[in-house]
A = this chain, B = another copy of it.
């Protein structure tokens, strides 16, 4: 195990643990991505998206690009959420402009019965990348590890790719809940082991992305997504070498279930832009930190508009009391079409306005 450099900026970790901070920390979902010309150059070198994601050198390079360009308060492992089902043998591939697909989706009872947790050794490229990134960061900001949620992974595993209506998996969910639960049990154990291995490799916080929980009906969400994120939380290492490892859960479109999400044991809950931050804080701010929630589309507006909306978001959360408890972020991944200078305006506005709020 390498000895890592001392962390110089712990604002993000403190905010997740609802400890006082001098300002509101900020990072962006998908901050290493196609909107950055330097990312596109590395992607070109790597030849393909998977060539990039599966190579620890390239993954390290692109993870650090936004950190070099902007004064962000956290970095996040560059990887794909579908590494785990890929390692389960489903055969991940990408078709340009169509997103991820699986060669062998889970469609029959036999497919489901044959599903096994992956050998973590086959995900070694991820853990290597984590250690390499943490080393390269040299203590500048903390490194976040991540995974898709058991339900979100299952969506891709059963649908065989992205989906708008999720008919295939919902058909399984309503007709064969036994098969659905079997997949989700396997995914929950695999996700917990995967995140724990990222923590062992050097991740200083972890996040679970439940991108498709919001597609579920009330009732089904609790049974088929939330319950399994709770199982992941229960199996997570929450401390490493005596240091707390905060965990964030984020269900896109989950605003209606906020109080239930805040009860599964995570340190922080991610919010999309449909949620009023002030109301969310009033409901669950005594239990968890909140992460979010600017509409990524605001980054297409002028710098003045961006500053105004950042201020509106920070004001909605309200004046930080003793504990900060707010990590600024977008409510979803940054768009590939975002002008990079919009991020400069956003990050500067978060830092300067949140300092003013505390003054």
Contact = CB atoms under 8 A, between A and B. Distances in A.
Contact of A335 (B165, B302, B335): B165
The quantity of this chain's copies bound in the complex is 2
B273 A217 contact: yes
Interface in A259-285: 273-276
Nearest to A306: B174
Contacts of A298: 170, 174, 217
Interface string A206-226: 000000001011111100000
A355 interface: no
Contact of A167 (B170, B297, B316, B331): B297
Contacts of A124: none
Nearest to A296: B165
Of listed A214, A221, A295, residue having the most chain B CB within 10 A: A295
Size class of the contact patch on chain A:
35 or more
Nearest to A218: B276
Nearest to A171: B300
A30 B204 CA distance: 49
A253 interface: yes
B295 A217 contact: yes
Contact of A297 (B166, B256, B302, B316): B166
Given A218-B276, A219-B312, A273-B217, A174 B253 contact: no
